[in-house]
Amino acid sequence: MQHYSLWDSPLRLAQDIATIDIISGGRVVLGIGRGYQKREFDIYGVDIAESRDRFVEGMDIAIKAWTEERFSYNGQFFQFPEVMVIPKPVQKPTPPVFMAVTHSRNSVEIAVTKTLGVIHGR
């Protein structure tokens, strides 16, 4: 699968994950993380200091894309008028999402707040 980050294309990520969920008969599980190495952010031209807020905003958009028929968004990093994102995933309300929380307490807080599963290395 092509890699799409929540930093620049959360709608495309949501569509791709929903498509894989359909093709797999409802068996997709998404593992995702904020990133933690400056060079990762430099590649996308994103300030690493924005990682938390960009991740939260991107995850909010992906969840809305999976759960709402139509929605608009007016955030700090992403703005768009009313859209209808298709396809929708088989699993309801969303496919399982697990967040990597290996390098930051902030990531743990995000996972808990968003009720995401966690992946940790310790």
Residue 98 has what pLDDT?
94
Residue 7 has what pLDDT?
67
Residue 2 pLDDT exceeds 50: no
Task: Please give the share of the chain, as a percent, with pLDDT higher than 70.
Answer: 93
Quote the DSSP letter at residue 115: T
Residue 109 has what pLDDT?
87
Residue 117 pLDDT exceeds 70: yes
pTM of the model: 0.88
Q: What is the rounded average pLDDT for all residues in the chain?
A: 89
Give the span between the Cα atoms of 24 and 43, in whole angstroms.
Answer: 31
pLDDT digits (tens, 9 = 90+) for 60-91: 999 999 999 999 999 999 999 999 999 999 99
For residue 111, CA distances in Å to 77, 82, 83, 101 come to 20, 27, 26, 8
Write down the domain spans for the chain. Answer: 10-119
**Tokens coding 99:** 């967040």
pLDDT digits (tens, 9 = 90+) for 33-49: 888 888 988 988 889 89
